[in-house]
Amino acid sequence: MNSDLFNDNALFKECVEVLNAQVLNYEEDANISKAFKSLFPITTWGKIDWAKINRKIEVGYDHALIISSLAELLEHNDFDKGVYILWSDGGIPAIKTNLEEVMKHFYDVASVSFEAFIFNVVIGYIIEIRSNDLVTVGVIDKARMAKINELSTEKLLK
């Protein structure tokens, strides 16, 4: 990680601290970015292509509904809450944290960059926070997840 960025970007620094997050180094960041692009359909303008994700819920502006919406999509409440966060600003390193912490400190996460992508590589869920704090959550289908597993997510994440 670029230590100057961590020291110069007060919003990022505060976010990392309140989430007790792990900042990924350059290689880890590249690997998780590659996994993200393999798992989730992306438009040419860098957003999630929601037309290609069948199981999705537009949460709107009430971020308190994110976990319950994911539980509904996943059809159970007990799911892996380990997540990575990528930012629309590619100069900000990815972080690894816990979804419950993200929910407690939602506005700290949302304020780091115009948009944020919070996702889980194990079960394939995605949360997109757009520049106006509009939130959509989704889960990729099992066939796509199986295809990704063939590529070995472990290799992508090292």
Q: What pLDDT does 2 receive?
A: 47
Q: What pLDDT does 154 receive?
A: 53
* Mean pLDDT (whole number) for 40-46: 92
The structure's pTM equals 0.88
pLDDT level of residue 19 (50, 70, 90 thresholds): very high
The number of domains in the chain is 1
The most confident of 86-90, 102-106, 145-149, by mean pLDDT: 102-106
pLDDT level of residue 150 (50, 70, 90 thresholds): low
Question: Any bridge partners for residue 118, and if so which?
Answer: 85, 127
Cβ atoms < 10 Å from Cβ of 65: 16
Structural domain including 153 reads 3-157
Q: How far apart are CA 115 and CA 94, in angstroms?
A: 13
Q: What pLDDT does 132 receive?
A: 83
- Which comes out higher in pLDDT, residue 45 or 127? 127
Structure tokens at 30: 């590249």
Inter-CA distances, 35 with 2, 8, 64, 85, 111, Å: 22, 28, 27, 12, 24
Q: What pLDDT does 15 receive?
A: 97
